[in-house]
Amino acid sequence: MPRKKSSPVLATGTVAKAATAQPTLTSLRGVADWREAAAWLRARGIEDIECITPDLAGVPRGKMMPSSKFTSNTSLALPSALYRHTISGEYPDETANFRYEPRDSDLKLMPDLSTLAVVPWESDPTAQVICDIVDTDGQAVSYTPRNVLKNIVKLYNDRGWKPVVAPEIEFYLVAKNDDPDYPLHPPKGRSGRSILGGQSYSIAGINEFDELIDDIYHFSEKQGLEIDTLIHEEGPAQLEINLRHGDPVELADQVFMFKRTIREAALKHGIYATFMAKPMQGQAGSAMHIHQSVVEIETGKNVFSNADGSASEEFFHFIGGMQAFIPKALVMMAPYVNSYRRLTPDMAAPVNSAWGYDNRTTAFRVPVSDANSRRVENRLPSSDANPYLALAASLGCGLLGIKNRLDPTPPTEDSANEGEIDLPRDLLKAVSLLEEEPALAEVFSKEFIGLYAGVKRGEFETFMQVISPWEREFLLLNV
């Protein structure tokens, strides 16, 4: 099975610039304009185009069309209510801050041609393109996830900076399960045996699924997506994929596409891939750690480092901002009831907003690096998060710290698990904290905060209608 060569998790701005080079007709991913798009599609015999965009949950939504319609720049519309429904497809009740557009008017799909790529698992020649959402006047709709992240990146650009990120995505492979009342179980590997937990960095654990992983690599290569490294994690059949560093929007696009790719590869082999934060009781949860740095646009210099190689004020203020605001924006990184089952003591996940040098028990870890690669790893987001919103929240909170010159606490030298739990423990509390923080409304807009909070409250109310096995087991005959 081929293995990609490893590279530094984050590099300097010079390398980051190369990642955003102009696409060409021979590119696996992306073209420069509509003329090139037509030629690109003809060269590959593409018959259908999937025009997709992430909803609030990060689920791909959109429309499919013949390639001839796509190249004629046919306008595609989606209803505005698409961004007001829950993960279960329900529409929450209106509140003072959560309102429906009375006419449920159209929003327009605007293809980003730099994301054009084939869909390698389809039987017929098919391509996909990620779309931005604009209104009928062509103006960006600020509350849609891709635009939320673009707005945060622009705040950095206005200072002459650009953020650089590298996500690490954990997920489980599980045996097919068509009854949600039954717990999930690890699948059988090539040995014919189910994978056990406690196999961190096990090469044998990876090789149990070598044909599936080969398909992940193959599908990724066909789409122009580059995997940095792949490892086996702590849980049974739990894997982690690390992506190359780059522009936040581009990396969010890649996570968005990787989730789809990994699910399709797993289905090809008769199993499921899940990005649930906590799919199995008693096992490690799945995180989406985010490495972050900031570079000057003109020079590529790392803003987190001074000329003498020491850590800059901006570096510490960035950490201070994450400590101050991420507990209040956590619902953008931990968006479901299940997410908070991961953020519990003694389960290899942060329980507070501590930071430290090379300390994996903290929420905000500063890896060992040279001055050019100085960065902060945010270990709070779970894999179930919408990558656009998780990146926007992490970078937005760090920028608030720089803007307000917030100092962090002293770094934690021992286990952060012994510290006070200062994160919300459940979804409803996390939603309330998001709504109550005015600084977050300034960064993400009041409209987005109201819309997102309304959807999350609706999901919580739906969950509360479900009677769990725990309740039946311990309450049925005992109370």
What does the alpha-carbon distance between residue 10 and residue 243 come to, in Å, rounded to a whole number? 10
Do 251 and 347 lie in one domain? The reply is: yes
Do 369 and 298 lie in one domain? The reply is: yes
User: What are 187's two structure tokens?
Assistant: 């699948």
What does the alpha-carbon distance between residue 329 and residue 448 come to, in Å, rounded to a whole number? 12
Domain region containing 454: 154-475
pLDDT-derived band at 25 (thresholds 50, 70, 90) equals: low
DSSP for 311-335, written as a single string: BPHHHHHHHHHHHHHHHHHGGGTS-
- The residue behind tokens 């044909």 is 211
Over the stretch 26-54, which tens digit does the pLDDT of each residue have?
778 999 999 999 999 999 999 999 999 99
Over the stretch 139-157, which tens digit does the pLDDT of each residue have?
999 999 999 999 999 999 9
Last residue within a domain, chosen from 108, 141, 174: 141
What pLDDT score does 199 carry?
85
Three-state SS for the chain is CCCCCCCCCCCCHHHHHHCCCCCCCCCCCCCCCHHHHHHHHHHCCCCEEEEEEECCCCCEEEEEEEHHHHHCCCCEEEEHHHHHCCCCCCCCCCCCCCCCCCCCCEEEEEECHHHCEECCCCCCCEEEEEEEEECCCCCECCCCHHHHHHHHHHHHHCCCEEEEEEEEEEEEEEECCCCCCCCCCCCECCCCCECCCCCCCCHHHHHCCHHHHHHHHHHHHHCCCCEEEEEECCCCCEEEEEECCECHHHHHHHHHHHHHHHHHHHHHCCEEEECCCCCCCCCCCCEEEEEEEEEECCCCCECCECCCCCECHHHHHHHHHHHHHHHHHHHHCCCCCCHHHHCCCCCCCCCCCCEEECCCCCCEEECCCCHHHCCEEECCCECCCCHHHHHHHHHHHHHHHHHCCCCCCCCCCCCHHHCCCCCCCCHHHHHHHHHHCHHHHHHHCHHHHHHHHHHHHHHHHHHCCCCCHHHHHHHCCCC
CATH assignment at residue 319: 3.30.590.10
DSSP for 226-256, written as a single string: -EEEEEE-SSTTEEEEEEPPB-HHHHHHHHH
> Is this structure's pTM higher than 0.85?
yes
What pLDDT score does 10 carry?
36
Q: What's the average model confidence in pLDDT over 302-323?
A: 99
Do 288 and 183 lie in one domain? The reply is: yes
Any domain includes 217: yes
What does the alpha-carbon distance between residue 421 and residue 109 come to, in Å, rounded to a whole number? 42
Any domain includes 11: no
Over the stretch 210-252, which tens digit does the pLDDT of each residue have?
999 999 999 999 999 999 999 999 999 999 999 999 999 999 9
Any domain includes 6: no
Q: With a cut of 80, say whether residue 77 has pLDDT above it.
A: yes
Do 208 and 84 lie in one domain? The reply is: no
Q: Which helix (H) or strand (E) holds 473?
A: helix 469-475
Do 189 and 327 lie in one domain? The reply is: yes
Any domain includes 1: no
Q: What's the average model confidence in pLDDT over 104-122?
A: 95
What does the alpha-carbon distance between residue 367 and residue 346 come to, in Å, rounded to a whole number? 22
Do 162 and 91 lie in one domain? The reply is: no
Closest listed residue to residue 153, CA positions, set 320, 391, 330: 391
Any domain includes 16: no
Measured CA to CA in angstroms, residue 204 lies from 196, 241, 370 at distances of 11, 16, 33
Do 159 and 135 lie in one domain? The reply is: no
Count other C-beta atoms under 10 Å from residue 420's C-beta.
10
What does the alpha-carbon distance between residue 304 and residue 306 come to, in Å, rounded to a whole number? 7
Structural domains counted in the chain: 2
Q: What percent of the chain has pLDDT over 90?
A: 85
pLDDT, mean over the chain: 92
Do 350 and 420 lie in one domain? The reply is: yes
Q: With a cut of 60, say whether residue 4 has pLDDT above it.
A: no
Do 179 and 43 lie in one domain? The reply is: no
pLDDT-derived band at 73 (thresholds 50, 70, 90) equals: low
Last residue within a domain, chosen from 141, 166, 193: 141
Do 132 and 227 lie in one domain? The reply is: no
Q: Which helix (H) or strand (E) holds 107?
A: strand 106-111
Q: Which residues contact 200 (CB under 8 A, 6 or more apart)?
A: 231, 232, 233, 234
Last residue within a domain, chosen from 141, 163, 197: 141
Q: What's the average model confidence in pLDDT over 156-175?
A: 98
- The residue behind tokens 């690490």 is 168
Any domain includes 3: no
What does the alpha-carbon distance between residue 434 and residue 440 come to, in Å, rounded to a whole number? 7
Q: With a cut of 60, say whether residue 21 has pLDDT above it.
A: no
Any domain includes 13: no
Do 58 and 161 lie in one domain? The reply is: no
Any domain includes 147: no
Closest listed residue to residue 28, CA positions, set 172, 218, 160: 218
Q: Helix, strand, coil shares of the chain as percentages rounded to 5? A: 35, 20, 45
Do 124 and 176 lie in one domain? The reply is: no
What pLDDT score does 72 carry?
76
Sort 163 into a burial class: Cβ within 10 Å, 0-12 / 13-18 / 19+.
Answer: buried
∠ CA 281-282-285, nearest 5°, is 80
CATH assignment at residue 85: 3.10.20.70
